Structure 1
Amino acid sequence: MWKFILRRILIMIPQLVLLSALAFALAKAMPGDVLSEQIDMNPDITAEHAAELREKMGLNDSWYVQYANWAKGLAQGDFGYSFKYKMPIEDLFAERVDKTLLLSICILITTYILAIPLGIVSGRWHEKWPDRIITGYSYLAFATPTFIFALIVLFVFGFILNWFPTGGSVDIYAEAGTLEYYISKAKHLVLPTLSGALIATTATIQYLRSEIVDSKIKDFVRTARAKGVPESKIYSRHILRNSFIPIAAFLGYEITGLIGGQIILERIYSYPGLGDLFINSIMSRDYPVMVAFIMVGGLASLFGTLLSDIILSTVDPRIRIQ
C-alpha cells in the first residue's frame, strides 16, 4: 500500500509540472494583461507610464522567462503576487478558501442525504412508479445546466418569494461571532447549496440504482431468498453492502470539489470564494492567480483519484493495491 502511494505521488510531480507550464502558457496567450483593465478604467495613465509599469512588473519578458521565475518562487513555497489585489496569492487564497470549503462541504453532505435514499428507493422498486419519478428527476437534473438551474432557484426563492439572500456569504451588518452572524451565514448558504446538491445527486442516484438492480439478480441474492432470509435483511446485508462499493470509491472524486470550488455557483450568487476569485482573475488578466488556482485544482484532482483507489481497496477486500 505504502509503495503504491509513494509511486503515485512521484508520478504526480511531472504531471503537475506539465499542467503548470500549459496553464501559464495559455494564461499568457490571452489578449492584454493586468494593466489593460486599469488603463481602460483610468485614461490618465499615459502610454509611457504603462510601458514603464510593464517593464517593472516583468510583463515584457517572454512567457517562459516569467514561468521560470514563477516556478523558482513556487519551489520556495511562494505562489506569487496578485497584480490586481496587490497581495501575496497565498494570503489571498487564505481569505477565501474557508468559504469555498464550507459551501462545498454543505453541497457534498446535502447531495448524499438526498441521493442515497432516492437511489435505494429507485433501485428497490425498479420499474415501478417511485422509480419512474426519481429517474425522471435524474434525467431532468442531468440535462439542466448548473447555471440555468441556479438562476431559476435564485429567481424563485430569492427574488419572487424573498426567502433567502441572493448574494454574498454573510450580512455586512452582522457582528462576527454572534448568533445573528452564524444565522446569516446559514441563510446565505441555502440557495447555492440546494442549487449544487440537487444537480449533483444525479450521478449518485444512477450509480446506486444500477448497482442495486444488478445485485438483485445475482446468485448470492437468489441463494439468500431460497434459504428464506427476510427481504429486509437481504437488502441490508447483501444488496446494499455490495452496492455502496462504487459510491464509496466515487467519494474521492467528490472530495476533489472541496478544493476546486463551485465556480459557477459562486459567480451567480456573488459568493466570495475561490471560484469567484478565479473568474475575477480571468477578467482582469491576473495570470499568477489563474495559474495558482489551476495548480491547486489539479493537485486536488490527483489526490482525489488516489483517495478513491485507497477507499475502494479498503471497502472491497477483493481489491488489493500493491
Structure 2
Amino acid sequence: MLKFILRRIMMMIPQLLILSILVFALAKAMPGDALTGQLAQSPKMDANTLMEMREKLGLNDPVHIQYVRWVKNLLHGDLGLSYIHQQPVTDLLSGRLANTLLLSACVLLLTYLIAIPLGLVSGRWQDSWADKLIVGYSYVSFATPLFIFALVMLFVFGFKLGWFPTGGSVDIQVEKGTLDYYINKFYHLLLPALSGALIGTVGIIQYLRSEIIDTKVKDFVKTARAKGIPESKIYSHHILRNSFLPIAAFLGYEITGLIGGSIFLESIYSYPGLGQLFLQSIMQRDYSVVTALVMISGLATLIGTLLSDIILSAVDPRIRIE
C-alpha cells in the first residue's frame, strides 16, 4: 500500500506541471492583464503610469520568464498580489477557505446521510412503492440543475417562509467565539448545504441500488440463503459489504465535485467562500486570484483521485493496484 501511495504521489508531479502550464497559458490568453481591473476602477490613470506599473510588475517580460517566476513563487507559497483587494492572495484565500471547507464538508455529510439509507431501501425492496418514490426522486434530482434548485430553495425557505437567512455566513452583531456564534453560523450554513446535498444524492443512490440488485442474485448469496443464514445477516455481511465498494471509491470524486458546486451555492446564497471569490475575480479580471484558485482546484482533483484509489484498495482486500 505504501509503495502504491508513493508511486501515485510521484505521478502527480508531472500532472501538476502540465496543469500549471495550462493555467498560466489560459490566463495569458484572456483579454487584458493584471492591471486591467485597476484601470477600469481608475479611468483617470494616465498611460505613462500604467506602463511604469507594468514594467515594475514584470508584465512586459517574455512569457517563459513570467511563467518561471510564477512557478518559483508558487513553490515558495507566494500566490501573488490581488490587484483589486490590494492584499496578498494567500491572505485573501485564507479568510474564505474555512467557509468553503465547512460548506463542502456539510454537503458531503448530508449527501451520504440522505443517499445511503435511500439506496439501501431502494435496492433491497426493488419495485416496491418506496423504490418507485426513491427512483422518481433520483430522476427529478438528476434533471434539475443545481443553480435552479438552489434559487427555488432560497426563494421558498428564505424569502417566502423566512425560515433561513438569505445570505452571509454569520450575523454581524454576533460575538465571535461564543456559543451563539457557532449556532448562528450553522443556521446560515444549513440551507445551502441541504440544497447541495439533495441534488448530489442521485449518483450515490443509483450506484448503491444497482450494486445491491446485482449482488443479491449472485451465487454466493444464494449459497448463504441455502445454508439457512438469516436474511438480515446476508445483507449486512455479504450484500452490503460488496455493494459499498463503488460508493467508497466514489468518495474521492465527490470531494472534487464539491468545489465546482460550491461556486453556484456560494454565489446564490452570498456565502463568503472561494467559489464566490472566484466569480468576482473573473468579473474584475483579478488574474492572480483566478490562477491560484484554478491551481487549488486542480490539486484537489488529483488528491481526490488518489483518495479514491486508496479507499478502493483498502475496502476490498482482493484488489491490488500495482
Question: What's the counterpart of residue 197 of structure 2?
Answer: 197
**Residue 309 of structure 1: SS of its match in structure 2?**
helix
Instruction: Report the 3-state secondary structure (helix = DSSP H, G, I; strand = E; otherwise coil) of the residue aligned with 2:35.
Output: helix
Deviation at 1:262, TM superposition (A): 1.2
1:181 is aligned to: 181
Equivalent position of 2:143 in the other structure:
143
Q: How does 1:147-166 map to 2 (within 5 A)?
A: 147-166=147-166
1:130 shift after superposition: 0.9
Normalised to the residue count of structure 2, the TM-score between the two structures is 0.95
1:158 positional shift: 0.7
Counterpart in the other structure of 1:111: 111
Unaligned runs of 5+ in 1: none
Equivalent position of 2:256 in the other structure: 256
Which residue of structure 2 aligns with residue 312 of structure 1? 312
In 1, the alpha carbon distance for the partners of 2:90 and 2:48 equals: 32
- 2:40 maps to 40
User: Which amino acid is 2:220 matched to?
Assistant: F
For residues 268-308 of structure 1, the C-alpha deviation after alignment (integer angstroms, 9 at most, x for no partner) is 11111111111122112122211111111111111211111
- Paired with 2:289 and 2:149, the residues of 1 have a C-alpha distance of 28
Query: Retained in 2: the 8 A contact 1:215–1:221?
Result: yes
Residues 172 and 203 of structure 1, relative CA distance in 2, 3 Å threshold: same
- Partner Cα distance (2:68, 2:134) in 1: 52
Check conservation: 1:149, 1:195, Cα contact below 8 A. Answer: yes
Q: Does the CA-based 8 Å contact 1:281-1:290 persist in structure 2?
A: yes
Structure 2 partner of 1:15: 15
2: CA distance, partners of 1:55 / 1:154: 47
**SS of residue matched to 2:44:** coil
User: Contact conserved, 1:118 with 1:205, CA < 8 A, in 2?
Assistant: yes
* Aligned pairs, number: 322
When the two chains are superposed, the root-mean-square deviation of aligned CA atoms in Å is: 1.7
Give 1:71's aligned amino acid: V
Output aligned runs, 1:1-322, within 5 Å.
1-257=1-257, 262-322=262-322
Cα drift, residue 259 of structure 1: 6.2
| CA deviations over 1:149-177 (Å, ceiling 9, x no partner) | 11111111111111111111111111101
Query: Contact 2:174/2:180 (CA < 8 Å) preserved in 1?
Result: yes
Tell me, which stretches of 5 or more residues in structure 2 are unaligned? none
Q: CA 1:146–1:258 in structure 2 vs 1: closer, same or farther (change >3 Å)?
A: closer
Residue identity opposite 1:285 in structure 2: R
Identity of aligned residues (%): 67
C-alpha contact (below 8 Å) 1:168/1:272 kept by paired residues: yes
Amino acid across the alignment from 1:145: P
Report the Cα distance in structure 2 between the residues aligned to 1:39 and 1:236, rounded to whole angstroms: 64
Q: Deviations over 1:198-230 (max 9, x none)?
A: 011011100100000001110111112222222
Tell me, yes or no, if the aligned pair for 2:34 and 2:288 is still in contact at 8 Å: no
Amino acid at match of 2:122: S
CA distance in 1, matches of 2:249, 2:59: 44
CA contact (8 A) 1:248 1:311 kept: yes
Q: Measured at CA, do residues 55 and 39 of structure 1 come closer, stay the same or move farther in structure 2, by a change above 3 Å?
A: same
Choose 84-93 or 264-273, whichever is displaced more: 84-93
For 2:175 and 2:187, the matched residues in 1 are separated by 15
Distance in 1, Cα, partners of 2:303 & 2:120: 29
Q: Distance in 1 between matches of 2:143 and 2:269?
A: 21
1:77-127 per-residue CA deviation (whole Å, 9 max, x = no partner) reads 322222222222222221111111110111111001100000001101112
Range with bigger deviation, 201-210 or 3-12: 3-12
* 1:43 Cα offset (Å): 3.0
Residues 1:148 and 1:191: Cα distance change in structure 2 (over 3 Å) = same
Shift of 1:239: 1.0
TM-score with structure 1 setting the length: 0.95
Structure 1 counterpart of 2:84, which letter?
K
SS at match of 2:171: coil
Superposed displacement of residue 39, structure 1:
2.7
- Cα distance change, pair 19–87 in 1 and its aligned pair in 2 (3 A): same
Residue 36 (structure 1) shift: 2.7
